[in-house]
Structure 1
Amino acid sequence: MKEKLRIILLIPVPPLPMGDAAARWFYVLVKGLVARGHNLTVFVVCNQLEEIDKVNHLFPKPDYDLRCYLIPKRLPGIISKIETLKRPYSYIFSSELRKDLAAELAKPYDILHCEVIWSGWLGITHKERAVISIHYLFSLDGTFENQPSLQMKLIKFFTYRAEQKLLKTFPRIITLSERLTQHIQTINPEAEIYTVPLGIDFSFYPFDKHKHINPQPIVGLIGSFNWTPSYTAAERLLTRLWPEIKRRIPDAKLQIVGRYAKNALAKFTDIEDLEIHQDVPDTLPYFANMDVMLYAPISGSGMKVKVMEAFALGTPVVTTSDGVEGIPAEDGIHAGISEDDQGLIDRTVELLNNPNLRQKSRLKARYLIEKYCNPQVTIAQIEHIYNEMLR
């Protein structure tokens, strides 16, 4: 590989180490590529001015070349609606970003790296020197399913169709898991598809080798509940799993934490010993306070950052195979893993009743995630893909 590559990176959220799921990986990606000596220009989509300030503080010039653009206000009218139908979610890219990106792509460069599928709209005309990273797929997650309104059915149709179009367009694709890789191969069998796990910066995840034991055991769930997998995990927990756990461990408590939690779960607020915390400034204290995180989505593609964070922080996890997608976790060793309700309940109760088992699980999970999602390992894999492209 060249000692120094000219890389243009397009990311749809700012690279903040404690931002949303994708943002944490983008932070590692930007830091890692620059640390390895590459000439990196990053086009960043931001939702508010405060995010731009944070990005500029974390990535000062001239050490970093990050260019931030606010999401433009969507104009009313038929033209805007038609553009949304033609290219769903492309509205987040402002005309200024498009213009500046085109100017940069007119100069010599080695790689155009588009993170998250919708960034692909800006890479189509440069696909031969581009790679697109797929974090999840709405069609696999079942997003917009069971939505009776005509509007939602149209959104589902055009969104799923757009995913197919973008996946068929790009000759090189990065995914987070073998499940995503195998699925995309059926859509675009000619593509070179690489599987690279998310890397996370472990300096932001303090690990205490000896976790405290609560006098009343706490089951918890942390996520963004405007996202289909997290919502289905919460609904399943509240309606199908928690009643039996509570019957078997009467003094247990349940806490659900995250974005839109109270809004999305308003109909469940009268459940006994349930606490819901919405839009908290920091989720780490809630992870630390849980005895078990129970995350059992009905469906959900890609790696689940909240499960990764639980592993990193030493919070024991009970989940499904979807919950540990992209992580080589084993049932009974790194986590309790089961697909059916009874298996999830039994594993949760067993962990709550057995502090020694919780301790063994959390130590092995931390070791696994440190080894598999180490930034040095994941960035090296990204560099290898660039090398393959340049051949």
Structure 2
Amino acid sequence: MSVKPLRVVLVMIEPPLPFGNAAARWYYVLLRGLVERGHRVTAFAACSNASDVERAASIFPAPQYDLRCYPVENRNSVAGKLETIRKPHSYLFRGKINHDVAAVLREGYDVLHLEQLWSGWTALEADPAKALVNLHYLYAIDDANSGFVDVRTALLRALRKRAERNLLQRFGTIAAITPRLEDKARRMTGSKVLVYWFPFAIDPTLYRFVPAAERPTRPIVSLIGSMNWRPSQSAAVRLITRLWPGIKRQVPDAKLRIVGWRARSALREYVDLPDVEIIEDVPDIRPYFNGSSVLVHAADQASGIKVKIVEAMAFGIPVVTNTEGIEGLPVRDGVHLLVSDDDSGIIERTAALLRDVPQQERMRLAARDLIETQCSPARALDAVEACYRDLIARRGAEADSITLAS
């Protein structure tokens, strides 16, 4: 059920692009959906890649959309580095973007919607009762079981954890895209903050389901993801060093392909391995999904939705993963994908799947159907609007109680 048109100020850490970074897929659905439902939205986006400013403007043209993108200022200055230590990731929102967000808020609004916790640096002076923060991950989870690190890294992690807790407690309403994040946010904030769950969504109409006749004839095992992100890099290293040798022994004609931002740089010691192809910084990931027989993605200690797994399911690429990989997804092992947490299980299930084309076809169809129904824009936007409605009603009830008390 839709709510009456609202004045929404939306802040994002990247531009809303259908094939931008992982979170940008959701931002694209969110901004387009809110405007289509009649809400008056001013959207702000930090932009780490300057070329994305024009791309976003062409997808969300004015005056239909009020999208304002800001290239990220230089973070390598001494002042920038010190500020980043004190306020992690605040470099994304230095300068003009902070000034402009504050100016728009002064004009009046119903909801300040902050996508990802670090966008909260733009809203420290905003009314907490009018703010909603949507969590995509938490370092409090991701760093929890990390091994020994040097003193500098340990200090940065401690400061990051403290900043997460302080920001979470600063705002009145939190949303999370997985139950694990929802539970952790509740425990970190106590009873001070209300926490909701938002289903994650992509636009499945943008993902062409690969016909069986166009699938690769040679078995291609793939991993696709940005190697700037520790979970993706850990999944790649695990695949290359611990999983691939066993898969290759069972399926001798198989080939391994790793694709992602900075992949060759991050995985430089593996680039010359036989039957292993490592490709970085591609302009379009779709051909690499289309050329995959199976996506194997088994990261360690990584909170949030694994967007590349969602995308593989949308394209119709069978997936083998671990329990970390299915966080927040209503999937069934053996129906939508295959799940195992130990190396031998992943190897055995991947090799068996590569040899069983009928099972691949059953899984591909079931996975695509799940993405269209459970990860649909309509379902996610209904949840967002319900949260807006509750936030506004709660604020009205508090105002009424103050009036009665006086």
Measured against the shorter chain, the TM-score band is: over 0.9
Contact 1:143 1:156 in 2 (8 A): no
1:388 counterpart residue number: 390
RMSD value over aligned CA atoms?
A: 1.7
SS at match of 1:132: strand
Q: Give aligned pairs, total.
A: 390
2:338 counterpart residue number: 336
SS at match of 2:325: coil
Distance 1:48 1:234, change over 3 A: closer
1:223 counterpart residue number: 225
Runs of 4+ in 1 over 4 A off after TM superposition: 143-147
1:321 counterpart residue number: 323
Distance 1:238 1:334 in 2: 24
2:371 counterpart residue number: 369
SS at match of 1:322: helix
Contact 2:262 2:281 in 1 (8 A): yes
Contact 2:199 2:379 in 1 (8 A): no
Contact 2:198 2:384 in 1 (8 A): yes
> Once structures 1 and 2 are overlaid, which stretch shifts more, 204-213 or 95-104?
204-213
Contact 1:318 1:337 in 2 (8 A): yes
AA matched with 1:97: I
Distance 2:124 2:194 in 1: 16
Contact 2:196 2:387 in 1 (8 A): yes
AA matched with 1:105: L
Give the superposition deviation at 1:208: 3.2
Distance 2:267 2:145 in 1: 18
1:258 counterpart residue number: 260
Give the superposition deviation at 1:171: 2.4
Distance 2:344 2:51 in 1: 45
Distance 2:27 2:353 in 1: 34
SS at match of 1:199: coil
SS at match of 2:195: strand
1:106 counterpart residue number: 106
AA matched with 1:342: S
Gaps of at least 5 residues in structure 1 are none
Distance 1:48 1:356, change over 3 A: closer
1:124 counterpart residue number: 124
1:158 equivalent to 2:159? Answer yes
Write out aligned runs for 1:88-107 (5 A): 88-107=88-107
> Once structures 1 and 2 are overlaid, which stretch shifts more, 339-348 or 32-41?
339-348
Distance 1:123 1:227 in 2: 26
SS at match of 1:174: strand
Give the superposition deviation at 1:212: 3.8
SS at match of 1:163: helix
Give the superposition deviation at 1:272: 2.3
2:174 counterpart residue number: 173
Write out aligned runs for 1:46-125 (5 A): 46-74=47-75, 76-77=77-78, 79-125=79-125
AA matched with 2:336: H
1:358 counterpart residue number: 360
1:32 counterpart residue number: 33
Distance 1:211 1:138 in 2: 43
> Once structures 1 and 2 are overlaid, which stretch shifts more, 95-104 or 249-258?
95-104
Give the superposition deviation at 1:52: 1.6
**Percent identity among equivalent residues?**
42
Distance 1:263 1:4, change over 3 A: same
> Once structures 1 and 2 are overlaid, which stretch shifts more, 17-26 or 94-103?
94-103
Distance 1:81 1:349 in 2: 46
SS at match of 1:323: helix
Give the superposition deviation at 1:269: 2.2
> Once structures 1 and 2 are overlaid, which stretch shifts more, 281-290 or 212-221?
212-221
- After superposition, give the CA deviation of every residue in 1:96-140 in whole Å (9 maximum; x if it has no partner): 111111111112210000001101122233211100011011232
Distance 1:213 1:128, change over 3 A: closer
Give the superposition deviation at 1:89: 1.0
1:188 equivalent to 2:189? Answer yes
Distance 1:211 1:381, change over 3 A: farther
> Once structures 1 and 2 are overlaid, which stretch shifts more, 214-223 or 148-157?
148-157
Gaps of at least 5 residues in structure 2 are 394-406
Contact 1:131 1:170 in 2 (8 A): yes
SS at match of 2:311: helix
Give the superposition deviation at 1:146: 4.5
